[in-house]
Structure 1
């Protein structure tokens, strides 16, 4: 809970406009608010901003009742009450995971993002704003340094990233934790502290407790965050070059696979080849998992120097042909989805956005249900890519597989293209 009032540097109109300029391109924005000091401060700052800026988007607040603590539901409802007091529409989203063994924080984090971005998609919201701040950035940098991360990891958290087709925006990365808490004390805004934030079983907590020692040694959070920003800048430059080379050597197909011209790929410098391999494996696999850099390096090495016909990585299958490599989804890895009765727009396997003209009862991988010869795939389409297409069963008894069957009750498009590519065929 907050302590006694203290002074802090006020957020004036100019600073608010600068902080939240990243949100003005969206018509609707969701704030992720847990009820902790950081997210409550974000909500207060956005409230101050929207009241004086006619370019501000419509703002909604979501709070997740994760059920991991008895008081979680009460805290989420308190967040919504505070949000409505500021004039925001607010909703509680519920997650009931059952028994969890290992990686509790990571699984809960993924569940929160899935719930909130799912709500965004269903309600036409383009961005989710979080309250990650300066200390979070410094801690992330140290954690990734300890794992031997490359440039992408050491760049820490991006100001703008993506989660399953929704922009995730972090406007407070340059603001310190104490200044945010000072804002709440100044306005008399209560918050709750999550006990897990002091639980040393979690890596971030252990790293956080090193901060006083690092400060004493002259390694402050500002310097760490500055290094992260500079490394991120270098990483973006290499990503841009990799995207240009990727676009030159890659042909992307709307059915969710791509061909990489072998000769052009082999001319790429080693770091660029690694980035292309990682980007295409992540794209083809639907970004279900974030592969370790060492595994991406091994894939790129196999593409350049290795033997053998095929490899898999992060849910993607990579097949070597004479003049090219084929990247596609590893068949059978996609989950079965049962859309709600009123759902007409769904994201399946984080690869396809499916627009439904009728009620769909089930969406599953084509390869799990189809008998060979029952449907004929286009000759140029790899068999494993065809088997990873969505097989949609409608309530009226009809079934449809996009890119194999004639267009009927559904329209399908890719969630996104690989970095550097501007179209699919």
Structure 2
């Protein structure tokens, strides 16, 4: 019977485990507790409230785990997901990880485990292949990576088959919850899973598909190291959550490298999504024209100025302001923010009015950057007045810097680890 890969744990630090209550996550959290009885292990369950029975199941799961001395924290998505907005599965993934990572940051837990296994790897490979993904996409699910929030995400049972998880639970008489939506053919992943027996009969077994993903991951890692070295050499990323590419050096780069550089910059700004390759290719050719015009892609603005390519968040796509607490929240799908100040504080984009206020009151504190770039910077407001803009190191005298949290990885020093976000957006 295989056991979780504990090599990636490295130390005795506390560990959070994403626990849906299904067989995979139940096997993972119970196996980890069995192998590491002295480690602090906390199960995190996200109640999506997409099914009428979800809250009842959440409390049932909590009872099962606490009976095995595993504390279970129930996190509820609030406000509920918008069923009319489309791509409900993607909405749920982003909300789920934002809640779990926010809880981890608030409780000083830096390690989060998920129960992805060989079957998930094979399904992801087929889905990406059908979508026309390249090397990065086909490398699929990484065994570990650093999230944009700084949380280290690990997959200790990526070498397991589905049957391994079920056998583990049955041998120990551990119950689990069956999600009926896993049998619905309206979901693409389910359709691929249903085709697995026929594919295996033709030689495309789960193990072989996962092996192909390993080959792609090795090649992707090689290319990512070259990309990271170029970015570091040219100091592309600024801590202000934007990127500046030297135009001439970028134009001289090989097409494959140049495309990867553009994608790295876009993902630096919007780390929880990836741009489509065909759109990226169109941007590449547009920037090679004699007089490149401003473009938008991936919710970002791309424009040239002073022989440089500026890439930054498009103001029109920035999320509305949110009211902060001491518990970190994901704002604009790009930064984790929190504020421990006693009076109400909101986070949102600086905007046109905010920049006008800044230029009037702090003229020397405004950097020489495109105005539309400055408009999109995450800003902390009190009574509609900017009190902190961490990315340009502005803090009002009424604002205590230690009360402000904004977590966004500086890719200039994290890039080798975070580049794998190209390959996988929370499968």
Q: The TM-score by the shorter chain falls in which range?
A: 0.7 to 0.9
Give the number of equivalent residue pairs. Answer: 402
* SS at 2:312 equivalent: strand
- Asked if 2 retains the 8 angstrom alpha-carbon contact of 1:244 and 1:420, the reply is no
Find 1:290's aligned residue among 265, 274, 282.
274
- Runs of 4+ in structure 1 deviating by more than 6 angstroms, as ranges, are 395-398
Identify which range, 25-34 or 309-318, moves more after superposition. Answer: 25-34
Cα RMSD over matched residues?
Answer: 2.6
Tell me what 2:411 maps to.
418
Q: Deviations over 1:364-403 (max 9, x none)?
A: 2111542634353535222122111233223697734442
Q: Deviations over 1:54-77 (max 9, x none)?
A: 6x4x21111122222222112111
Q: Distance in 2 between matches of 1:125 and 1:141?
A: 31
The alpha-carbon distance between structure 1 residues 82 and 242, as it changes in their structure 2 partners (threshold 3 A), is: same
- Asked if 2 retains the 8 angstrom alpha-carbon contact of 1:250 and 1:261, the reply is no
Identify which range, 40-49 or 302-311, moves more after superposition. Answer: 302-311
Tell me what 1:38 maps to.
24
Find 2:42's aligned residue among 44, 60, 65.
60
By relative contact order (CA 8 Å, sep 6+), the higher-ranking structure is: 2
* SS at 1:210 equivalent: helix
The alpha-carbon distance between structure 1 residues 242 and 388, as it changes in their structure 2 partners (threshold 3 A), is: same
Structure with bigger helix share is: 2
The alpha carbon displacement at 1:207 in A equals: 0.5
The alpha-carbon distance between structure 1 residues 397 and 152, as it changes in their structure 2 partners (threshold 3 A), is: closer
Identify which range, 403-412 or 251-260, moves more after superposition. Answer: 403-412
Q: Distance in 1 between matches of 2:405 and 2:394?
A: 12
Identify which range, 190-199 or 23-32, moves more after superposition. Answer: 23-32
Q: Distance in 2 between matches of 1:26 and 1:355?
A: 29
Report 1:397-412 matches (<5 A): 399-402=387-390, 403=392, 405=394, 408=397, 409=399, 410=401
Q: Distance in 2 between matches of 1:215 and 1:317?
A: 45
* SS at 1:374 equivalent: helix
Q: Distance in 1 between matches of 2:74 and 2:224?
A: 37
Pairing 1:225–2:213 present: no
Pairing 1:89–2:74 present: no
Tell me what 1:274 maps to.
259
* SS at 1:93 equivalent: strand
Give unpaired runs (5+ residues) of structure 2: 416-427
Give unpaired runs (5+ residues) of structure 1: 1-9
Q: Distance in 2 between matches of 1:265 and 1:209?
A: 45
Identify which range, 403-412 or 248-257, moves more after superposition. Answer: 403-412
Q: Distance in 1 between matches of 2:289 and 2:384?
A: 52
- Asked if 1 retains the 8 angstrom alpha-carbon contact of 2:355 and 2:374, the reply is no
Q: Distance in 1 between matches of 2:135 and 2:23?
A: 31
Pairing 1:186–2:168 present: no
Identify which range, 41-50 or 94-103, moves more after superposition. Answer: 94-103
Pairing 1:115–2:65 present: no
The alpha-carbon distance between structure 1 residues 74 and 368, as it changes in their structure 2 partners (threshold 3 A), is: farther
- Asked if 2 retains the 8 angstrom alpha-carbon contact of 1:391 and 1:401, the reply is yes
- Asked if 1 retains the 8 angstrom alpha-carbon contact of 2:275 and 2:298, the reply is yes
The alpha carbon displacement at 1:315 in A equals: 1.9
The alpha-carbon distance between structure 1 residues 186 and 155, as it changes in their structure 2 partners (threshold 3 A), is: same
* SS at 1:298 equivalent: helix
Identify which range, 389-398 or 213-222, moves more after superposition. Answer: 389-398
Give the TM-score normalised by the residue count of structure 1: 0.86
Q: Distance in 2 between matches of 1:46 and 1:148?
A: 37
Find 2:317's aligned residue among 321, 333, 338.
333
Tell me what 2:229 maps to.
244
Q: Distance in 2 between matches of 1:26 and 1:272?
A: 39
Q: Distance in 1 between matches of 2:413 and 2:45?
A: 35
